[in-house]
Structure 1
Amino acid sequence: MIRKLLISAILAGGFALAAHAQQTGLVTLETRQDSQGWEAVGRLDIRGKGFCTAALIQDRLILTAAHCLYDIDGSMVAPDRFTFQAGLRSGQAQTTRLITRTVAHPDYVHTGQATNAREVAIDIAVLELDRPIRNTRMQPYRIAQRPITGDQVGVVSYGRGREEAASLQQVCDVLGRQTGVIVMTCDVEYGSSGSPVFMMDNGETRIASVVSAMAHINGQKVALGTSLEGPLNALLSHFATLGPARPGGTQRLINADERNDTGAKFIRP
């Protein structure tokens, strides 16, 4: 799943797109050599609904978009409907795990068919695996500092028409960011929600954002992502306060009073 922007202006007030450099196209990760370093990205299957993309950030924790936790009718998807297929290529996963608990950002409010930029800015969730992944080829990713306008990033994603193997776009550009939303030229598609956006940090590949939605701004197709630093710290702090997974496995807190409508409207496919 991925959400699609209905209007051209994503953020209210003075947002301008920077010029961008040459970006690379999508490359399908079909072989073990192609997939080296990307094995901890996987397809997050949701029985009866579709799929998103997720990435390993701890040996028992994966990161994805919060809206992936919700069904078409707005109810939360039961954890036992999720399956994480890490390193899936040619229809075969290197490692498969079930999910015991799903936890959205504590301030995330799911609005169904309409949302705003503030929601995109905290559209993240962690899912607890039934067993840890401990594999020398499948190391959890660390988190990068938030990207700024002009930075180059990359994205690994699954999507409609490319469900059986991940695709890598090695170079796309950060066009701007505002209100916690990062606007990028990355090529995303339905199914790319939750895809990790990467940056290099002293030679190490780290996650800098998570894909939330796709949009058109001034006629240009763009991807919208979350600025991870603050939101992810809040999410992991919230997760740390929870006890053992309860029956049903879903955790969410809502602060409806803190919502701020900026006018951006989205729909879910």
Structure 2
Amino acid sequence: MQPAIKGFPPYGISVVVKFGGSLMRDLEACRAALAELERLGRRGHRILIVPGGGIPDKAIEAVDATHPLAPFTAHHACALAQDQTAYMLSDPALSSDLVACSTLGQCRFRLREGKIPVLLPSQILFALDPVEWSWDVTSDAVAAWIAWLTNTPKLAILTDVDGVYRNASTGDPTALIAESSADELGRLGHTSIDACAAHFMSQHGLSGVVLNGAHPHRLGDWLEGKQVTGTRITSTPHIISAPQTALGAA
């Protein structure tokens, strides 16, 4: 986290967590993962959640598979799908400390209250239009961009597998890549982290981890510097730094 510049206070986020929509297939496991995030928040970790598209996104993909949608339609519908997932994750049915936030200013305010903001990304994405309108760009890349935009030092991708596997061999524990540079992951193409996110992390000096959200304690262990089952992503610091911005001021 970069030091504050006079007149531009930091957002104060310690970790951006991309919460994969795949984790909503088992709602009890989803609740357990969210409960762990709440526990970490109460222990002082300042978490910002960027949701995946989840169930709504799958419906959009199903339509596109048989009746290909225009890039404009697919992009905007998928961004709104992330919003819908955010609302569900922050509902009392699944969590107690999570709050859906449409601006970064709201996120900052909720963090000060001791809550965990869940970003509704569509408003920021529509206003700034930072990513290509393509199926190649997923919520992983959006989470990486948000981490860079807010000068957050850590990015965790929570998904439904243990990490990134060689040749996509998710059933073979020996194929799990324990550590890789972001650049190397980008060259692998789309895995359990999309290639656009990996390339972005490489270019902007972001590091992080891909973890299985079904084992939520691994996130806390990683934040404490312990060895965990997952894929640690390293990146060489780059001269491109995130802008200090008043975007989303409350």
Normalised by the length of structure 1, the TM-score is 0.29
Q: Which has the higher helix share?
A: 2
Q: Which has the higher strand share?
A: 1
Normalised by the length of structure 2, the TM-score is 0.31
